[in-house]
Amino acid sequence: MTRLYLVRHGQTKWNLEFRAQGSKNIELTEKGKLQASLLAEKMNKYKIDCIYSSNLDRAYETALTLGEKVGIPVSKIDDLREMSFGDWEGLTMNEIQKTYESHYTVWRDQPHQAQIPGGETLVDVQKRALEAVHDIIKENEGKNIVIVSHGVAIKSILLGIMDIDLSNFYKISLDNTCINIIDFKDYGPVLVSLNDTSHLENIK
C-alpha cells in the first residue's frame, strides 16, 4: 500500500495579514518555524520513505525541517507550488474585495469558475499538481510519501484524488502544518486523516 502525507507549510507574515501569497516567495515567521519543528517531532514517529516539496521557500523550509529530523533529503517539484493569484498577490482580502469586486465574488461563490486577473485558475492548479502527485506515486509505489505544499494546491489535490468536484473547494479547511493522509488501496484512495494539527495544541 502507498501512503501519502499532504502537509501544508508553516505560518508566514502574509498568512497573519490575510494577504494573497500565491507565487510570491514569503518566508516563515518564528511561529511558522516552531510549527515546522513540532510537525517534524510528530512525523518522526511515522515511517517515511521520501519527501517532496513545492519550490517556494515557505514549503521548502518546512520540508527541510522535517527532512533533517528524519534524515531524508527533500526533492523540490515546481508543479507543487501554490496557485498564482496574479494581480491579487500582496493584497489583503479586503483590498481584493474592494478593487476586484466582481472577480472576488466569483472566487468566493464559484471558485472553480474564477478567472483571477493575471493568475491561474483552480482547474490549472489541480491539473499540474495532480500530474506531479501521480508521477511521485508512480515512482514510489508501496512507500510512505510526504509532500509539503500550500493550502489551495493541497485542496485541489485532495478533491482530485477523491473525485470530488472543485466547486466544493471551500468545504475543506487546511491550517498551517496540517497533516492530511491518503492511503492508496487496491480498490482506490481512502482519506484517513484531514487537517490534523494535534502537534500544535500547546502553542498559541
Which residues are the active-site residues?
Answer: 9, 82
> Integer distance in angstroms from the first to the last C-alpha of the chain?
36
Q: Which residues of 84-120 are buried (b: 16+ CB within 10 A; e: fewer)?
A: bbbebbebeeeebeeebeebbeebeeebbebebeebb
Set of cell numbers at residue 117: 486577473
Give 3-50 as a 3 state SS string: EEEEEECCCEHHHHCCECCCCCCCCECHHHHHHHHHHHHHHCCCCCCE
